[in-house]
Amino acid sequence: MGTTRVGIVDYGMGNLYSVAKAVEHLGGDACISDKAGILASCDRLIFPGVGAFGDCMAALEARELTDFLRFAAQTRPFLGICLGMQLLMESSSEHGEHAGLGILPGRVLPFPTEILADAEGQRRKIPHMGWNELHQLIPHPMFAGVPQNAHFYFVHSFYVEPRHPDLLAGFSDYGFPFCAAIAAENIFALQCHPEKSGEAGLRLLGNFLAWSGNGGPSCSR
């Protein structure tokens, strides 16, 4: 069996080389590209991202990647990371209302103002940045060997609210429980950055290299 070829979607925003380095450390063949034709030749795809939702959607459209991503998310193992998870949703209220890829039913929201002060009255910082526990809610091949409540690294000011609870695979807490992982058929997505999350993150990425794309619930809308 040959080395698995992992396409990493390049639309000008994201920790592409950190992700590629982690994939190659785990024995995968990382291919960073903004060309649909090249990405289509890969066995599986990682969709990373950092930045503003609207700007990232515009960058995807400029590179003619939106239709390809909708197709690819149905045809091979697909991992969304951070903004790459948020862009899978139908919409975001970040700096106005923006349409997302609409691959999964849900929306992206800002952290509610009522959670910005903790029990001692200290103001929580936005973005939510640093290490936090990821609480697994379902058994899934992507979680194999990843300890329950393992710490992962987060950097985000907005969070995903899936429309169907069945999509929720894991949560974290920052004043309230928020969606930290989603599973839907051959799609798995994380609000955290596994490529920056030490041993637990590497284990999860290693699971992705071996994952057949089965194990998540239906993503029917």
Tell me the catalytic residues. Answer: 82, 193, 195
Cα(49)–Cα(22) distance, integer angstroms: 16
66-75 and 53-62 helices cross at what angle (nearest 10)?
Answer: 90
What is the DSSP pairing of strand 177-184 with strand 187-190? antiparallel
Nearest to residue 104, comparing CAs of 11, 214, 183? 183
Q: Considering all CA atoms of the chain, what is the largest pairwise distance in Å, rounded to the nearest integer?
A: 57
For residues 42 and 29, is the Cβ–Cβ distance under 8 A? no
Q: How far apart are CA 159 and CA 169, in angstroms?
A: 14
Q: What is the CA radius of gyration of the chain?
A: 16
Task: Give CA torsion, residues 141, 66, 12, 56, to 10 deg.
Answer: -90
Could you tell me how far CA 149 lies from the centroid of its own chain?
Answer: 18
